[in-house]
A = this chain, B = another copy of it.
Amino acid sequence: MPQLRIALAQLDAVVGDIPGNLERILAAARDASDAGAHLVALPEMMLTGYPIEDLALRSSFVEASRTALDGLATRLAEAGLGELPVVVGYLGRAEGETDRLGRPKGSPQNAAAVVCGGEVVASYAKHHLPNYGVFDEYRYFVSGHDSIVVRVRGVDVALAICEDLWQDGPAAAAKAAGAGLLLVINGSPYEAEKDDVRGELCVRRATEAGCPLAYVNLVGGQDELVFDGDSLVVDAVGDIVARAPQFEEHLLVVDLDLAAATEGVESTYADFTIRRVDLGLPEVAPHQPARPTVASWIEDEAEVYGALVLGLRDYVRKNGFRSVTFGFSGGIDSALVAAVAADAIGGENVYGISMPSRYSSEGSKDDAADLARRLGAHYRVVPIAPMVEAFADAVELTGVAEENLQARVRGVIVMGISNQEGHLVLATGNKSELAVGYSTMYGDSVGGYAPLKDVPKTLVYRLAQWRNKAAAERGEEPPVPESSISKPPSAELRPGQVDTDSLPDYPTLDDILDDYVERDVSARELVSQGFDPDVVGRVFRMVDHAEYKRRQYPPGPKITTRNFGRDRRLPITNAWRETT
């Protein structure tokens, strides 16, 4: 069997930065060549970044992607890498007839180019366009019809892009085409435990294709998405033989024994044509296989925490910030955000602001200061009483209006310091609060990015505990003050207030939210499972009523199967109420 050393470049692309992404691709190709690779693959839409949203509809952007692809081919050849085939995702333009939705040729395509010998020698357009959850690919792309098989040094390599792998067809087509390797380039966003599903899927498709499968994914944060990498290679019998670590860039280099290309295999499968391209490169001489990376699977909390850190770091970095600021309340949410921020960009780039009111406990003030000390964060104290009193003198505000006033005074202070000093503001609210509207618009919800937007409150606690435990295991001081974890959660907006005055206890609340928000379970079904009908009814009403608040909330990293951004799209004006 011919040997082939393949390199999977798990890279962090920047949306819209075509020249920068081109340099990243070139550098990875150089590294792959230095590692002796015979083929290097880069993720879906690596050249443009992903997802590009409505940039796909701009002619100038499509042209820039196509021009850059030609430039990449030239640059690779100039760098002496002309004999290293590079498979890379880019934004293409359909050249065939109309697609199965009847859209005209010339429409944008989500495509994979094969670059070799200074030229773009083949292009594969994604067959299956995801149009659910966070994806809107029918808005942007026309789907491809053809299968592509590229002969690389005596091995036939079949191509696929991301969703193609999740649908039946492409693996079977690779088998029909007699492929020796199925190469899949991906832009697959993180969700908790998705790595398990993804691993199982690759195993199943490799078995169906009857050949090894190589899977390369993006890594990095892009607005609400975090790409976790998790690139891997599965052999023909379904064993995972290589795996890149999650949440960091990595060049995964693997030696594979692959079936030799044969003539006389099928040239069509189902309703599409199998197009074949021979790169004309000689077979590889037998060589000692390198020992590939096989990153181990990490525990759930470590994985979510890693996603939050990468999401925050990339949002800060890619948007030109260097530091962050937000209120340090002494509570668990702001403490976890501070720990994530310190891990992402360094404690010295975190600017904590304690903004005590007359309802703030001494314990909370101490915890806030202690947090800053543990992280090496900047810290200042701005008591809010003078501003609150100035408003109260001017306008009569009582009850919830007065509670909101305190939160909004804090919002104005944080935004003022951000404007004055140039820090990105982080909103510290969690998913449970956002679900039920337990927050003040333009108060605690101000910010450019909300790290815990998709993290339920019970998981906030687990993450803080996990992070402290991890620190302790490394002999470091745990970042989150113990009393921020142990004291009852409170907004401290009136004397003696605790969250359970207004909400069910968080374990119950999160149980209901997990069913309602993430899986559309009906109120009736929840009651039949034993939940209190009054509690279910109240939680459902709170969730439905809070849609207007969510619509103005900052973006934050998706970590669940259904976040409050693109995943769950509901009208604000909505009279539908589930009955229990």
Q: Which residues of A contact B (CB under 8 A)?
A: 14-18, 20, 49, 51-55, 57-61, 64, 100-101, 131-132, 136, 138-139, 221-223, 314-315, 318-319, 382-383, 386-387, 389-391, 393-398, 400-401, 404-405, 408-409, 411-413, 415-417, 419-420, 441-442, 446, 448, 520, 522-524, 548, 551-555, 568-578
Contact = CB atoms under 8 A, between A and B. Distances in A.
A58 B520 contact: yes
B442 A520 contact: no
Nearest to A525: B60
Contact of A570 (B53, B59, B412): B53
Given A382-B395, A412-B442, A416-B405, A16 B223 contact: no
- The residue among A411, A417, A419, A554 with the most chain B CB atoms within 10 A of its own CB is A419
A415 B394 contact: no
A218 to B, nearest CB: 13
A534 to B, nearest CB: 19
Given A16-B577, A389-B390, 6 more contacts: A16-B576, A58-B522, A100-B100, A318-B575, A391-B412, A395-B420
A397 B55 CA distance: 37
Q: Copy number in this complex?
A: 2
Nearest to A388: B390
B391 A16 contact: no
A357 to B, nearest CB: 13
A315 B395 contact: no
B412 A54 contact: no
Contacts of A390: 386-387, 389-390
B413 A571 contact: no
A139 B134 CA distance: 10
A136 to B, nearest CB: 7
Contact of A55 (B54, B555, B570): B570
A446 B577 CA distance: 28
A248 to B, nearest CB: 19
Nearest to A55: B576
A250 B376 CA distance: 67
A571 B522 CA distance: 33
Max count, chain B CB within 10 A of own CB: residue among A398, A420, A448, A573: A573
Contacts of A409: 412
A309 B318 CA distance: 41
A395 B419 contact: no
A223 B100 CA distance: 32
A393 B389 CA distance: 13
Contacts of A412: 391, 405, 408-409, 412, 442
B382 A575 contact: no
A395 B411 contact: no
Nearest to A404: B419
B318 A573 contact: yes
A520 B55 CA distance: 9
A419 B448 contact: no
B54 A570 contact: yes
Contacts of A448: 548
Contacts of A61: 576
11 contacts: A49-B575, A54-B568, A55-B570, A57-B520, A136-B136, A138-B138, A382-B394, A387-B387, A394-B413, A397-B420, A401-B420
Contacts of A14: 573, 575
A574 B223 CA distance: 9
A222 B576 CA distance: 14
A221 B389 CA distance: 40
Contacts of A64: 576
Given A554-B552, A575-B20, A569 B53 contact: yes
Contact of A551 (B20, B555, B577, B578): B555
A170 B577 CA distance: 36
A553 to B, nearest CB: 7
Contacts of A131: 131, 138-139
Nearest to A425: B441
A386 B393 contact: yes
B132 A52 contact: no
A394 B405 contact: no
A569 B569 CA distance: 14
Nearest to A549: B448
A416 B411 CA distance: 14
In the complex, the 8 A-B pairs of residues with the closest C-beta atoms, listed nearest first = A16-B576, A17-B575, A401-B419, A390-B390, A16-B575, A401-B420, A442-B442, A60-B522
Contact of A59 (B132, B520, B554): B520
Contact of A415 (B413, B416, B441, B578): B441
A111 to B, nearest CB: 18
Residue from A393, A552, A577 having most chain B Cβ neighbours under 10 A:
A552
A552 B411 CA distance: 15
Contacts of A383: 394
A448 B408 CA distance: 16
Contacts of A396: 420
Contacts of A397: 416, 419-420
